Structure 1
Amino acid sequence: MIARPQSPARTVDVISIAALAMAEILAMSLWFMASVLLPEMRAEAPLSVWQAGALATSVQAGFVLGALGLAMLGLADRLDPRRIFAGSALLAAAANAAMVLLAADHSGQIVLRALVGAALAGVYPVGMKIAVGWTTARRGTMVGLLIGALTVGSAASHLIAFGGGHGWRTPTLMASGLAVMAAGLMAAVRLGPHHQRAPGFSFGVLALAWRDRRLRLAYAGYLGHMWELYAFWAWIGSVLALSLAEGHARLTAFAAIALGGLACLPAGGLADRIGKAQVARAAMLISALAGVATAASLGGPAALTILAAMVWGASVIPDSAQFSALVADAAPAARAGSLMTLQTAIGFLFAALSVQLLPLIAAALGWSAALLVLVPGPLLGAVAMTRLIALQRDPAAE
């Protein structure tokens, strides 16, 4: 189904990229379904604060394990990434659909969400491997498009929950159906002229992430970015629910997250012109300020909270594509998939910590204090990008 003949064309295949982006949107709609549907799940069974956090964190934990496995085996560099993407989307759809067979508070729900995360490790970083194979000069734009698709897909869970009627099972099955469609779309995707397969795997490749200063700084910036990103995505709906009715909070959360997805493409184009590290640094500084503003706005007029959350949502994700593009630029072409997969694995480990930590802090100190915990992440990431910019201008620096 997927082994479609390659074309020798050197230009970007619009159909392939469009199909890849749409597949990313549909598959990644699975990511936040449990977090978004917590009110409906709690209406069926009394979930504790720990269980609620674990339903969100288990996806990240599963993703970390899945991504580490892919990186250690070098599968994204050795096998056809389209087959990995399609098979992973189907596995994620099956694990997500199986949730409807269990009670809302059954411990198996956490295991199934972890399986969803592990399977999505074959979707997100593998999709980036396919995308960077189409260009070297416009990688900021290309990866920005894919990260934008991922963001819209992550936001889609709020929209599915809003339109899925009462209860949590129907929206859950709807999201699984979209992931199945994502697997089918991979039949329309070709590999680009810059795609390379590795002849075998070497653990020494992963050591490049530490030995190469460019890679090390790109990883460091990504870790700061991931400290805030998924915690914001997972809990912004709960924050907005303090000021808005449930339906309005979901629509606003969708809009805030999706706005960031729309910002990824122009940010990528700007990065290709002025520099990836420069755009990443600017986005993180704006994101840190928006995080402080959102925390300070809680308890005040709802319009201020919505505005601050919108700015935060628009600025929290455009830098993500640039970290991946920076790794692709610095990595050997045949090993870019493994190094980008390792980058996402470590980043999602950080994300799992902040996602789990945030509701616990909110329960003890309130959401304003919890949101401020996220701010150091982008600030430290901006410091890493400042050092990378200096290194790019003078390779002998530091």
Structure 2
Amino acid sequence: MVAISARPAHHNSGPTPPRRPPKDPSVTESAAVPHPHPRLLVLSACAGLVLCMIGVFAFAALLPTFMRDWDLSNTEAGWIGGILFAGYAVAAPVLVSLTDRLDARRVFVAGAVVAAGANLAFALFAEGFWSALALRALAGVGLAGTYMPGLRVMVDRIAPARRAGAVPLYTASFSLGSALSYLVPALVAEAAGWPGAFVVSGAAALLAAGTVAWMAPHAPDQPADPRTRGALLDFRPVLASRAAMGYILGYVAHMWELFAFRAWVVAVLGFALVADAGPWGAAAGGPGSLLEPGAVASWGALVAMACSIGGARLATRLGRARTTQAYMVLSAVTALGFGWLAGGLSYPLVAGLAILYAGLIQLDSAALTTGAVETAPAGRRGATLALHSLLGFGAAFLGPVAFGIVLDLAGGRESTAAWGLAFGLVGLVGLAGVPALRRARA
């Protein structure tokens, strides 16, 4: 005889659904259905970021051309190279914080359209320092609407267990986009001039909008009591989190170092190529060579992508904050010597060192962003990423500008000492991230 237990009339028969883990009672469950294709979703988010990135370093890739044609000083070139990230820093707090209140997909699509418009307008209207400055700042607003909102598009739609692997892939896609941002504009400029390079960059940003438009809608989690949500730019819960702020401050040092290097790497390699009077160097770095300065920047960004993924995985196993501190020391020490060596070593050795340095800088990138995501206060992931972006990309703006100022003050871009001092400043700022990460370890 089989015993049948009584059930309340409103229960359906069938297997008992698995119990969900407890969650913060201050946050309500999103009404959106989980995305049925997580791998395709991650791939689409990464592809969208890469396409939006095509124009980000187009100016840096073509820097020698602009400095010659527009008669720019090093300081002016530094301003144009860095202003995109100032535009990012100004817009990011609002645009990224909005992802706590509405579907991040909508923010991403709007950002991609702005980026496309800025690049197309640069091709048509840029004719000197001031017009270039304004349009590159607008491109930064577009990047602010795509980079971290794209991350939010992805993490909101995948299971928490997948995030530790998906976030490094997404942030590493920034490096892949950077590699293409040096390579594609340079190739297009050879065939169609620099305006053609920016037209292609604008078209790529428009394509990026389609990479997320197909995804299922997702309403972000909201506090059960709307009165506890706080103002749009209320960063107080984030500032009060020692762990989150540790990763954010480490990211500030990382971004200063990374973007100072990326804004000036083609120029310093051009200096090293001229300084190498031997035939080997001229042949190795000539037009069409695999070690031509723009190509080296692309190789470095590709190496950086692999280092970002591998560095994040190793940091997860060995202790994220502690391992990231070791990464920062390695890259900063390399920066302290790189500028001095650029004028003394043969060009192929300088090119190889630049690729190595590009990889070392990126060892900590995904680990820092993953740490910020994982330690974000409940219901404040968008605000955490907004502050992460505001401070990090503010440093990304200041790094290239400060680098150009040091170059001008120390003797110009034909001086080994000037390059040595400029990269020395980069290394010192990079080292400042080491004590900042003690907050994350506390």
TM-score, normalized by the shorter chain, greater than 0.5: yes
Measured after TM superposition, the shift of residue 17 of structure 1 is 0.4
Q: Tell me, what secondary structure is at the counterpart of 1:88?
A: helix
Matched letter for residue 85 of structure 1: F
By how many angstroms is 1:234 displaced? 0.9
Opposite residue 355 of structure 1, the aligned amino acid is P
Equivalence for 1:283: 327
Shift of 1:386: 4.0
Residue 150 of structure 1, CA deviation: 0.9
SS where residue 364 of structure 2 aligns?
Answer: helix
- Aligned to 2:426, the other structure's residue is in SS state coil
State how far apart, in whole Å, the 1-side matches of 2:249 and 2:129 are.
37
Residue 262 to residue 52, structure 1, CA distance change in 2 (3 Å): same
Equivalent position amino acid for 1:181 in 2: L
Task: Note the alpha carbon deviations across 1:148-171, whole angstroms, 9 max, x for none.
Answer: 101111221210133114321011
**Which secondary structure does the structure 2 equivalent of 1:243 belong to?**
helix
State whether structure 2 residue 140 is matched by structure 1 residue 126. no
Q: What TM-score does the superposition give when structure 1 sets the normalisation length?
A: 0.88
Specify the code of the residue in structure 1 equivalent to 2:38.
D
CA distance in 2, matches of 1:333, 1:378: 30
Judge conservation of contact 1:12–1:192 (CA < 8 Å) in 2: no
Measured at CA, do residues 312 and 93 of structure 1 come closer, stay the same or move farther in structure 2, by a change above 3 Å?
Answer: same
1:306 is the counterpart of 2:371: no
1:1-398 pair list within 5 angstroms: 7-8=33-34, 13-71=38-96, 74-105=97-128, 107-133=130-156, 134-166=158-190, 167-190=193-216, 196-197=221-222, 200-202=229-231, 205-244=234-273, 245=285, 247=287, 248-299=292-343, 300-365=345-410, 366-389=418-441, 391=442
Distance 2:154 2:365 in 1: 15
Match of 1:394 in 2: none
Identity %: 28
Instruction: String of CA shifts for 1:201-248, please: whole Å, max 9, x gaps.
Output: 436841123212112212221111122111111111111111234740
| 5+ residue gaps, structure 1 | 392-398
| Distance (whole Å) between structure 1 residues aligned to residue 146 and residue 377 of structure 2 | 21
Q: Secondary structure at the match of 1:168?
A: helix
Cα distance between partner residues in 1 of 2:358 and 2:171: 14
Distance, in Å, in 2 between the alignment partners of 1:192 and 1:282 is 38
Question: 1:395 corresponds to which residue?
Answer: none
Q: Secondary structure at the match of 1:57?
A: helix
Q: How far is 1:311 from its partner?
A: 1.7
Cα RMSD of the aligned pairs, angstroms, is: 2.4
Distance 1:314 1:50, change over 3 A: same
Q: Which moved more, 1:380-389 or 1:89-98?
A: 380-389
**Contact kept in structure 1, 2:55 and 2:185, CA below 8 Å:** no
- Name the stretch that deviates more: 116-125 or 40-49: 40-49
Please give the secondary structure, in 2, of the residue aligned with 1:331.
coil
- Structure 2 CA distance, aligned partners of 1:139 and 1:285? 27
| Cα distance in 2, alignment partners of residues 144 and 197 from structure 1 | 26
Question: Of the two, which has the highest radius of gyration?
Answer: 2
SS of the residue 1:107 aligns to: helix
Task: State how far apart, in whole Å, the 2-side matches of 1:278 and 1:135 are.
Answer: 26
* TM-aligned CA deviation for residue 363 of structure 1: 2.7
Where do 5+ consecutive residues of structure 2 fail to align? 1-30, 274-284, 411-417
In structure 2, the CA distance between the partners of 1:239 and 1:44, relative to structure 1 (3 Å rule), is closer
For 2:180, the aligned partner's letter is: A
Shift of 1:50: 3.3
Residue deviations 1:8-45, cap 9 Å, x none?
Answer: 46x87110100100110110122111222223334443
Q: Matches of 2:197 and 2:340 in 1, distance apart?
A: 33
Query: For residues 191 and 241 of structure 1, do their structure 2 counterparts lie closer, same or farther at Cα, with a shift above 3 Å needed?
Result: farther
Q: Distance in 2 between matches of 1:287 and 1:191?
A: 41
In the TM superposition, what is the alpha-carbon distance from 1:345 to its structure 2 partner? 0.8
Q: Offset at 1:357?
A: 1.1
2:281 counterpart residue number = none
